[in-house]
């Protein structure tokens, strides 16, 4: 473990170890929450090992499912059952396999007429859950926000060069054009909303991510470099993705 300029880097030996550390952190955050807990999930391949672990012991029994609420940091604007839909992927991977009250799953409504309409609806749902339309840094919206890192440095659906990167007021925005595969419109939480968390946890695995991760940790001008957290910011990476100086940690 070592400190990066922005956040803490935790290196896991491999992908299964990464999933286990993520599951432990998720469980700890949920347990710390008094009353209901809010977890913001992510798409991509990064969280799949974690999702699978949550359906297995000891996590299956240890998680207080009735009081955990599941949100999504971004989604592809495709029908809920489409194989590209992030909440659909999370449902199939774990939410459908455990005893989650249906009202605890908060998908982005991708059947709305436009990504913008879906964004407005999701912002209203988040504000309703939070109890205010104004975020207070002393009272984060989420207990845990999971994030991924794309090969171009994007995170959530915040792509390089997109004006959404600078959004400071709106909680959720529609992205008409994804700048990377899959080329479908997106809906994404903005940086200030994602920052409203007790912990932001990036999950980054594989040698293909090594170079872009090194650039982000060095503070290069890339979307993921702008990620902030009102609480902890943790980069959980496997050894294959870890930049050289983090290998011995
Ligand atoms: C999406 C994701 C996206 C993802 C990264 C990393 O909907 O595409 O939310 O931001 O997290 O692209 O994806 P991998 O984990 O597959 O590398």
**Domain count of the fold of the chain:** 1
User: Which of 205, 73, 226 lies closest to 153, judged by CA?
Assistant: 226
Ligand 1 centre from 203 Cα, in Å? 10
Domain span including residue 160 = 3-246
- Which residues have C-beta within 8 Å of that of residue 165, sequence separation ≥ 6? 158, 159, 191, 223, 226
pLDDT of res. 247: 66
Mean pLDDT of all residues in the chain? 95
Minimum CA distance residue for ligand 1 atom 10: 156
pLDDT of res. 243: 87
pLDDT of res. 245: 75
CATH number at residue 169: 3.40.50.1360
Mean predicted confidence (pLDDT) in 141-158? 98
Ligand 1 centre from 45 Cα, in Å? 7
User: What is the value of pTM for the model shown?
Assistant: 0.96
Ligand 1 centre from 170 Cα, in Å? 22
Q: Which residue has the tokens 């009081």?
A: 67
pLDDT of res. 3: 40
- List own/partner pairs for 110-116 with CB under 8 A and 24 or more apart: 110/75, 110/76, 110/77, 110/78, 110/79, 110/80, 110/85, 110/187, 111/79, 111/80, 114/174, 115/77, 115/174, 115/175, 115/176, 115/185, 115/186, 115/187, 116/173, 116/174
Q: Which ligand 1 atom is nearest residue 74's CA?
A: 9
pLDDT at position 15 over 80? yes
Mean predicted confidence (pLDDT) in 68-91? 98
Q: Which residue has the tokens 């859950």?
A: 129
pLDDT, tens digit, 9 for 90 and up, residues 169-207: 999 999 999 988 999 999 999 999 999 999 999 999 999
Least confident of 12-16, 110-114, 123-127, 177-181: 177-181
Taking the C-alpha atoms of residue 115 and residue 13, their distance in angstroms, rounded to an integer, is 39
Ligand 1 centre from 34 Cα, in Å? 30
pLDDT > 90 in the chain, percent:
92
Residues having CB within 6 Å of any atom of ligand 1? 42-46, 74, 76, 86, 148-150, 154-157
Q: What are the structure tokens assigned to 155, written together?
A: 């995170």
């Amino acid at each position: 473990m070592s400190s990066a300029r922005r956040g803490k880097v935790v290196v896991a030996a491999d992908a299964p170890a990464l999933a286990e550390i993520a599951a432990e952190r998720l469980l700890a955050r949920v347990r710390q929450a008094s009353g209901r807990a809010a977890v913001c999930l992510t798409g991509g391949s990064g969280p799949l090992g974690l999702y699978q672990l949550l359906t297995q012991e000891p996590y299956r029994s240890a998680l207080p499912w009735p009081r955990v609420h599941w949100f999504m940091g971004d989604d592809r604007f495709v029908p809920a059952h489409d194989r590209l839909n992030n909440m659909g992927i999370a449902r199939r991977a774990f939410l459908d396999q455990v005893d989650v009250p249906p009202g605890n799953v908060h998908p982005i409504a991708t059947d709305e007429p436009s990504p913008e309409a879906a964004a407005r609806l999701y912002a209203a749902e988040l504000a309703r859950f939070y109890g205010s339309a104004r975020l207070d840094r002393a009272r984060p919206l989420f207990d845990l926000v999971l994030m991924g890192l794309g090969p171009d440095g994007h995170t959530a659906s915040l792509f390089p060069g997109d004006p959404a990167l600078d959004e400071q007021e709106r909680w959720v925005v529609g992205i008409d054009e994804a700048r990377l595969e899959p080329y479908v419109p997106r809906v994404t939480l903005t940086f200030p909303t994602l920052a409203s968390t007790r912990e932001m946890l990036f999950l980054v695995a594989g040698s293909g991510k090594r170079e872009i991760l090194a650039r982000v940790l060095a503070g290069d001008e890339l979307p993921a470099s702008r990620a902030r957290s009102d609480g902890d910011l943790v980069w959980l990476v496997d050894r294959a993705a870890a930049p050289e100086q983090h290998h011995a940690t």
